[in-house]
Amino acid sequence: MSYEDMIAAWTRDPEGFWAEAASELHWIRPWAEVLDSSTQSTGRWYPGGQINTCYNALDRHIEAGRGDQAALIHHSAMTGARESLSYTSLRDRVARVAGALAKAGVIRGDRVVIYMPMVPEAVIGMLACARIGAIHSVVFGGFAAQELAMRIDDARPKVVLSASCGLEPGRTVAYKPLLDEALALAQHKVELKVVLQREQCQADLGDTGEVEWVDFENSAEPLDCVPVEATDPLYILYTSGTTGRPKGVVRDNGGHAVALHWSMGALYDIGPGDVFWAASDIGWVVGHSYIVYGPLLRGATTILFEGKPVGTPDAGTFWRIVADHKVKVLFTAPTAIRAIKRDDPELALAKNYDLESLQALFLAGERCDPDTLEWAGSALGVPVIDHWWQTETGWALTGNPLGAGLFPIKPGSAGKQMPGWRLDVVDDDGRSQPAGEIGRIVCRLPLGPGALTALWNDDPRFLTDYLEPVSGCYTTADAGFIDEDGYVFVMTRIDDVINVAGHRLATGALEEVISGHPSVAECAVVGRRDAVKGEVPFGFVCLKAQKGRQAPQDLDVDLVQLVRERIGPVAAFKEVAIVERLPKTRSGKILRGTLRKILNGEPWLMPATIDDPEILTEIATAIQARS
């Protein structure tokens, strides 16, 4: 089925389309209706149906005769450890942990916080919660104690699953002291803490309310899956909010399972037995959707990687893993590819490995500039597919379906809308914009299966943040345009649009031009206040690692001229700062908002999600000296 046929089938009969997709999964009780939009404006999928996500991710494949197939491969660049768990062995461990949680008093609807590094036990904990109908909330391992405390107070878990430490290049991060501090700060009292002891750092456990993982896992009999309603919550995943208070995105069981199972085949072309690698972290939505649930629901083999794209030990790490495990599709963030490009601009290290198994590279998490996309495509010789989605949507709003025959790729675009999402571009008053005009990207209601159904314990914020800004729409908070061929260009967050003398310029358009310079590895553009023009763009630029690279003073002139030629004098782009690295969150997103505050002399706080606090301090000092 081509993309056009797929969209036509969905447009003609949306509920029939998703009913057919749902029929490929195991249902304990059939749904009463496919979509109920009468009680909630975003819609509820498969009400009346009963399902178990863990059963569909594990037991179903074992009963189909594929229990010996690898389900999860753990590959740690930090320790050198490799472990492969078959579907049967993974199911058996999940069932034991499910039994231990039940023995500890966890029942359907209770919450379990998982604060762990990239180890198999983290995935086991997630699936064990799904097995008994508990709601897991994974918090990125190593998050600051205050951030963890806020999530504990909001989710009010009965149990916390954790580990003694996480591993970063050159350092060990002790988790237990962070967990202890968070629990001391939190008002909610957790009944049980389970700690996985890692040999790199052993944690001291108290006499009561704390137990080692190995003892916990072996303390109870295995437990079978329990039926849950399709509309019951599967998990809460906290995402940062503009108020500083995290938002708990709630995902259901039924719509989530259907959307991820369908997308694994249609979008990523992954079937049973294929090897899929999402090089992300289970603390982020990509990890939830495409390290854990998506591949396992599809019956594929998924890779859980502990390491970095560079420095563990070099910029060839990704290609080595692809070759070692015969990865069919790799999914990562553009920032990871830019980091590889910076350290290995000729992709020489990739030539050391047999990459014949790799059929496509998917990118998401931030906008991918055309230069990075084209560089990776020419070097790897496979399609490089940018696609766009959010924590709230759970899977891709736009993309290019590898499993349905690719349509031509337009560098700079995140593809076309996927079934389930009715995208539009509107102005500040909610009026639809003509093709090619930049505006707010929204999604007409109801939302597709797999989208958020609520914010945990915060219905008013769900309305004000997502549904009230544009009537009848989910507001993505991203800005961009849709061209005459239906390609979606996501240029920037709404608050990253720069207003230069009345002209609205997306930072993504400026960054696209700057990144095209042969000496530039990556860049970020933010608005600097200007007494005459209101705002003017300011560029932070990282150079490629290469001998004899161009002197910064020459680069300034070149970049200013490039922007003048490609965008025009209206951009008023005149200032560039060369930096060693860009400040990013642990998920790889550039902290443009913080850069903008520093540049404009506004008060700012060190973000809790920052990957490298030192670089932000260095930039702040340099900007202050420059001023």
Domain spans of the chain? 3-307+387-480, 502-626
- Per-residue pLDDT, averaged over 439-446, amounts to 95
Tokens, residue 201:
């750092």
- Helix, strand, coil percentages (3-state) for the chain, rounded to 5, are 35, 25, 40
Q: Determine what percent of the chain is predicted with pLDDT higher than 70.
A: 96
Buried b vs exposed e over 157-187: b needs ≥16 C-beta within 10 Å?
bbbbbbbbbbbbeeeeebbbebbbebbeebe
- Torsion from C-alpha of 366, 369, 371, 374, nearest 10 degrees: 70
Position 503 scores a pLDDT of 65
Position 501 scores a pLDDT of 62
> Do residues 442 and 474 touch, judged by C-beta distance below 8 A?
yes
Helices (H), 249-385: 254-266, 285-287, 294-298, 317-325, 334-343, 370-380
Tokens, residue 121:
């036990």
Any residues with CB less than 8 A from the CB of 360 and at least 6 apart, and which?
Answer: 268, 269, 329, 330, 382, 383, 384, 385, 402
Tens digit of each residue's pLDDT (9 = 90 or more) over 186-209: 999 999 999 999 999 999 998 789
Residue 6's SS3 state is helix
SS3 assignment for 79-138: CCCEEEEEHHHHHHHHHHHHHHHHHCCCCCCCEEEEECCCCHHHHHHHHHHHHHCCEEEE
Position 502 scores a pLDDT of 57
* End-to-end CA gap in the chain: 58
The Cα–Cα gap between 166 and 143 comes to: 11
Residue 499's SS3 state is strand
- pTM for the model stands at 0.86
Quick check: 152 pLDDT over 90? yes
The Cα–Cα gap between 369 and 295 comes to: 28
**8-12, 515-519, 547-551 — most confident range:** 8-12
CA angle 97, 281, 122 (to 5 degrees): 10
Q: Determine what percent of the chain is predicted with pLDDT higher than 90.
A: 73
CATH for 502-626, options being 3.30.450.70, 1.10.240.10, 3.30.300.30, 3.40.50.150? 3.30.300.30
Tens digit of each residue's pLDDT (9 = 90 or more) over 223-280: 999 999 999 999 999 986 544 578 999 999 999 999 999 999 999 999 999 999 999 9
Tens digit of each residue's pLDDT (9 = 90 or more) over 24-75: 999 999 999 999 988 767 889 999 999 999 999 999 999 999 999 999 999 9
The domain defined by 3-307+387-480 folds into: Rossmann fold (3.40.50)
List of E strands, 520-596: 520-530, 534-543, 575-578
Tokens, residue 50:
């009963």
Tokens, residue 470:
């544009």
> Which amino acid belongs to residue 447?
L
Q: At what angle do helices 254-266 and 14-22 cross, to 10 degrees?
A: 90
SS3 assignment for 163-213: ECEEEECCEEEEHHHHHHHHHHHCCCCCCEEEEECECCECCCCCCCCEEEH
R_g (Cα) of the chain, nearest Å: 24
> In this structure, what are the phi and psi dihedrals at residue 561, rounded to the nearest 5 degrees?
-65, -40
Q: In DSSP terms, which residues pair with 42 in a beta bridge?
A: none
Q: In DSSP terms, which residues pair with 610 in a beta bridge?
A: 585
Higher pLDDT, 107 or 242: 107
